[in-house]
A and B are shown apart, each in its own frame.
Chain A
Amino acid sequence: MIKVENLHKSFGSLQVLKGITTEIEKGTVVAVIGPSGCGKSTFLRCLNRLEVATSGQITIDGVEVTHPKTDILKLRQKVGMVFQHFNIFPHMTVLENLMYAPVKVKRVSKAQAEQKGKDLLTRVGLADKADVYPNRLSGGQKQRVAIARSLAMEPEVMLFDEPTSALDPEMVREVLDVMKALAREHMTMAIVTHEMGFAREVADRVCFFDSGYLVEDAPPAQFFSHPQAERAKQFLEKML
């Protein structure tokens, strides 16, 4: 589904990604973990070209993301993204948030988008919040709206950039539960996270990043009990 080959990314003279090669198969969940500043968020943002790769190649579903002539807007319709700070549109109601992109970008009829939006809100447990403005919601609720907003575009891949890092501890779970449900439905997902328990439970693979390198790539059972790389061992000791 997603193929990354020798991905490099620099901001000026700062090298953030130093040659990442990996693959995410359809229907699998990959957890991307690592210390802060290791490049994991940048990696994720390169996948839908929110950051333009300096060199290397990324293809999603056969479409080359890194090619400058690629219709990136069209590709992004297939790649949903959820952010640490939710980035809900504050001037629209919850339902409007869910309807805007399908109507505007995919030319879905309003009635259809509204139905779909309401279904999705039910799915994330927020059916009663359809006509509320986002500022009335808690962080966890906002993040669930953000997930629903992405799903409204019917993406084939979902990218999660530290979706629970900005949440109060008691709200983390409601968001993780929604993500678990998605994983059970075999959504292809790449998740940058600090939730080790969640990664262990849900991910099919764990990618451990350090200083711009993909240091270790293993199934969670193996990674969490027998990390190979020295840096991964140190990291896990601090986290667990």
Chain B
Amino acid sequence: MYLDGSSWTDWLDWLPSSSDMSSLLLAQTGFRLDFGKIWDRVPFILGGINVTLQFTLLSVVFGFTWGIILALLKISNIPPVKWLAAAYTSIFRGTPLILQLSLIYFATPQLTGYNISPLQAGVLTFSLNSGAYTSETIRGGILAVDKGQWDASASLGIPYRSMMLDIIFPQALKNILPAMVNESIALLKDSALVSVIGVVDVMRRAQIVGSEKYIYFEPLLMAGLIYYVMVIGLTSLAQTFELRLRKSD
């Protein structure tokens, strides 16, 4: 999909697929790395990138949006609303993500009769969970904006909504961006959890290839490399974005 076959083969040849190198390293155990064995299934594993990216992107967008809403509820002046938002955060931070995922995927059909797809269940869980974490970061970022900015906005007669959207939030974003990049990276990696509800993402595909070929090290190593490259890509993307945000510094 990304490169033509021959270049991939070249690359694999360069890796310790040649018997001399792997046997040199691991001669005593009789263990040999042989990427040639999974070569025909590499496109299949790479195909998981789409699935993983789709999950991550949707979860980041919905989770961030939900986090903003929760943060706004937390800084509101209405005690029951604040309390609810805090209780929500506490529950979602206080229970394992995989439990939440299983509950939503397996319990939703039982509870509502709606047959939730693994993609929907995964994105829903990750968004709900990520919202709980990011809401605290966003709340902190909003409150860290100089109080004078609120005063100035108020004194100009700017309505709350516009103030938040145009004055406070752009400044808060600078404070919270590094934490949001961390959260996106965590989501990208945690997305591997959806393999347990049968989504064929990078992780699941690596496992499938492993069980087809009776070798696990090579496909899992490959999956690891794919995740790592995606994280690096995400990080550099975030750096570019951060530089643009800081043009007024």
Contact = CB atoms under 8 A, between A and B. Distances in A.
Interface of A: 48, 50, 73-77, 79-81, 83, 85-92, 100-101, 104-105, 133-135, 146, 149-150, 153, 159
Contact of A90 (B154, B156, B157, B248): B248
A135 B249 contact: yes
A81 B150 CA distance: 12
Given A83-B148, A104-B166, A135-B249, A91 B157 contact: no
Contacts, number: 71
Contacts of B162: 104-105
Interface in B154-183: 154-159, 162, 166-167, 170-171
Given A83-B152, A89-B152, A91-B171, A104 B158 contact: yes
A91 to B, nearest CB: 5
Contacts of B117: none
B146 interface: yes
Given A83-B148, A85-B148, A133-B248, A91 B170 contact: yes
Interface residues of B, number: 19
B149 interface: yes
Contacts of A77: 156-157
Contact of A150 (B149, B156, B247): B156
A149 B156 contact: yes
A101 B171 contact: no
A81 B166 CA distance: 20
The list of the 7 closest CB pairs from A to B, nearest first, reads A87-B148, A87-B152, A81-B155, A76-B157, A101-B156, A77-B157, A133-B248
A83 B151 contact: yes
A50 B248 contact: no
Contacts of A134: 248
B159 A73 contact: yes
B187 to A, nearest CB: 27
A105 B156 contact: yes
A101 B148 contact: no
A100 B166 contact: yes
A135 B157 CA distance: 24
Contacts of A73: 157-159
A87 B146 contact: yes
Given A79-B155, A101-B156, A135-B248, A87 B149 contact: yes
Given A76-B154, A86-B148, 20 more contacts: A50-B151, A50-B155, A75-B157, A76-B157, A80-B155, A81-B155, A83-B148, A83-B152, A85-B148, A87-B146, A87-B151, A89-B152, A91-B170, A91-B171, A100-B166, A104-B166, A105-B159, A134-B248, A146-B152, A150-B155
A85 to B, nearest CB: 5
A153 B157 contact: yes
Contacts of B149: 87, 89
Nearest to B170: A91
A74 B156 contact: no
Contact of A50 (B154, B170, B247): B154
Contacts of B158: 73, 100-101, 104-105
Interface string B123-142: 00000000000000000000
B175 to A, nearest CB: 12
30 contacts: A48-B155, A50-B151, A73-B159, A76-B156, A79-B155, A81-B151, A81-B152, A81-B155, A83-B148, A86-B148, A87-B148, A87-B151, A87-B152, A89-B167, A90-B171, A90-B248, A91-B170, A100-B156, A100-B158, A101-B157, A101-B158, A104-B162, A105-B157, A105-B162, A133-B247, A135-B249, A146-B152, A149-B156, A150-B156, A153-B157
B120 to A, nearest CB: 37
Most chain A Cβ neighbours within 10 Å, of B152, B155, B162, B247: B155
Contacts of A89: 149, 152, 167
Contacts of B151: 50, 81, 83, 87
A87 B145 CA distance: 11
A149 B148 CA distance: 15
Nearest to B248: A133
A101 B158 CA distance: 7
